[in-house]
């Protein structure tokens, strides 16, 4: 919709790597504090790829420095243009290495999405999109409260899977806000929800679940049985597109 596109291009909400090693859309007023409470854990998750691709701290720091220089002054650049700029300075990065060099800069709170350029996403300096004015406040319990209000009934492990804290951190954060919520046990596991949130909607027809949809990613206990004539073999990744009809997985 043109209105949504205009809000995105204006920086009212942003696309960046946050919560997990994947892109999310986040309100501009929340991006800094959510990065603060989740980026260290996401960086830890990424460390295996960093090592495998020989992206040591010196390379990542150099990449972040160069990207900052390229984007300074609201010079919005696409991923390909950033890759060319890095290569021009001797930092060669193929598609995966470039993706993780850029992701590191996002997780360090240096860059985020810029306005769309046609069908292409661009990047911008976070400081130029969302000036740091001290108004961005929040912590892990606040993130847990928002998750449970928007996804409940959900458990502490569900929150850990969604936002990447350790199991202990997730339990502590949920415990801190549990008094604001109501609880129900599912198979002996406590789940919390906001009693004031809208109830579940009834739906008839087909659900076309996209890549890494929240239903399959955040709720592993949900199990849509596979239809007998399912076109893909057992064991196919349920996170990669599913077609659900009458609570049955009929295809990908």
Do residues 41 and 97 both lie within one domain? yes
Q: Does any domain span residue 201?
A: no
Looking at residue 22, which CATH number applies to its domain?
A: 1.10.10.10
Give the tens place of pLDDT for each residue, 144-172: 999 999 888 899 999 998 999 999 999 99
Q: Does any domain span residue 16?
A: yes
Whether 38 has a pLDDT exceeding 80, the answer reads yes
Domain end, chosen from 74, 106, 129, is at: 129
Strand partners of residue 17: 23
Do residues 183 and 219 both lie within one domain? no
Q: What is the mean pLDDT of the chain?
A: 88
Neighbours of 109 (CB within 10 A): 18
% of the chain beyond a pLDDT of 90: 65
Do residues 13 and 102 both lie within one domain? yes
Q: Does any domain span residue 107?
A: yes
Domain end, chosen from 84, 110, 129, is at: 129
CB-based contacts of 128, cutoff 8 Å, min separation 6: 71, 72, 74
For residue 176, what pLDDT is reported? Answer: 96
For residue 199, what pLDDT is reported? Answer: 64
Do residues 25 and 92 both lie within one domain? yes
Whether 39 has a pLDDT exceeding 90, the answer reads yes
Do residues 14 and 122 both lie within one domain? yes
Nearest to 114 by CA among 80, 63, 78: 78
Whether 40 has a pLDDT exceeding 90, the answer reads yes
* 248 DSSP 8-state letter: E
Rg (CA), the chain: 20
Token pair in block for residue 35: 């990065």
- Say how far apart CA 93 and CA 111 lie, in whole Å: 18
- Mean pLDDT over residues 114-139, rounded? 88
Looking at residue 170, which CATH number applies to its domain?
A: 1.10.10
For residue 182, what pLDDT is reported? Answer: 93
Domain end, chosen from 129, 148, 178, is at: 129
Name the residue range of residue 236's domain: 206-251
Burial class (CB in 10 A: 0-12, 13-18, 19+), 182: middle
Cα–Cα distances in angstroms (integers) from residue 232 to residues 214, 235, 239, in the given order: 21, 9, 13
Read off the pLDDT band of 138 (50, 70, 90). confident
Give the tens place of pLDDT for each residue, 192-246: 998 887 766 666 778 888 777 777 666 666 677 778 877 777 666 666 677 888 8
Do residues 122 and 68 both lie within one domain? yes
Do residues 162 and 111 both lie within one domain? no
Q: Does any domain span residue 32?
A: yes
Instruction: Report the predicted TM-score, pTM, of the whole model to 2 decimal places.
Output: 0.85
Of 250 and 169, which is predicted with more confidence? 169
Do residues 125 and 8 both lie within one domain? yes
């Amino acid at each position: 919709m043109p209105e949504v596109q205009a809000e995105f291009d204006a920086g009212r909400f942003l696309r960046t790597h946050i919560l997990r090693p994947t892109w999310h859309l986040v309100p501009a007023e929340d991006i800094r504090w959510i990065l603060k409470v989740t980026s260290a854990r996401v960086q830890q998750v990424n460390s295996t790829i960093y090592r495998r691709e020989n992206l040591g701290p010196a390379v990542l720091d150099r990449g972040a420095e160069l990207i900052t220089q390229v984007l300074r002054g609201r010079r919005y650049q696409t991923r390909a243009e950033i890759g060319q700029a890095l290569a021009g300075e001797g930092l060669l990065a193929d598609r995966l290495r470039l993706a993780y060099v850029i992701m590191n800069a996002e997780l360090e709170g240096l860059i985020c999405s810029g306005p769309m350029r046609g069908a292409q996403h661009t990047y911008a300096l976070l400081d130029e999109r969302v000036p740091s004015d001290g108004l961005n406040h929040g912590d892990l319990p606040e993130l847990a409260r928002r998750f449970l209000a928007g996804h409940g009934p959900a458990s502490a492990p569900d929150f850990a899977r969604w936002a990447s804290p350790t199991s202990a951190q997730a339990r502590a954060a949920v415990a801190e806000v549990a008094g604001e919520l109501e609880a129900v046990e599912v198979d002996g596991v406590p789940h919390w929800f906001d009693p004031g949130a809208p109830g579940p909607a009834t739906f008839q027809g087909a659900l076309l679940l996209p890549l890494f949809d929240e239903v399959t990613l955040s709720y592993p206990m949900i199990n849509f049985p596979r239809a007998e004539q399912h076109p893909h073999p057992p064991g196919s990744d349920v996170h990669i597109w599913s077609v659900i009809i009458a609570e049955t997985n009929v295809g990908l």
